C-alpha cells in the first residue's frame, strides 16, 4: 500500500480520483493551492485507490495523507 501525501500545506483545490479508480504512476490525483499557486499531486506508483481522505476545500498540513493506493 502506498500513501499519497501533501508536500507542503495548502488547500485541496481539486480531487481527480475516487475509491476504486485504477491509476498509473505519476498520474495527477489532486491539485493543491498554496500561496495562489496550483500544484498537481501525482500518484507515487500505479495501483487502485483504496481510500480518499480529503475533499475539495480541505486545508492540509505538510505530510498529510491525501489518499491510499493498493497494489
Say if residue 71's pLDDT is above 90. Answer: no
pLDDT of amino acid 32: 97
pLDDT of amino acid 38: 96
Domains of the chain: 2-70 (2.40.50.100)
CA torsion sign for 39, 68, 14, 54 is: negative
C-alpha span between 30 and 23 (Å, rounded): 12
64 falls in which pLDDT band (50, 70, 90)? very high
pLDDT tens sequence across 5-57:
999 999 999 999 999 999 999 999 999 999 999 999 999 999 999 999 999 99
Name which residue leads in pLDDT, 35 or 59.
Answer: 59
Amino acid at each position: 500500500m502506498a500513501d499519497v501525501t501533501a508536500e507542503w500545506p495548502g488547500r485541496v483545490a481539486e480531487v481527480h480520483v475516487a475509491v476504486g479508480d485504477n491509476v498509473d504512476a505519476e498520474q495527477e490525483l489532486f491539485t493543491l493551492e498554496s500561496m495562489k499557486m496550483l500544484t498537481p499531486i501525482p500518484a507515487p506508483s500505479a495501483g487502485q485507490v483504496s481510500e480518499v481522505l480529503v475533499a475539495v476545500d480541505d486545508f492540509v498540513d505538510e505530510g498529510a495523507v491525501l489518499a491510499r493506493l493498493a497494489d
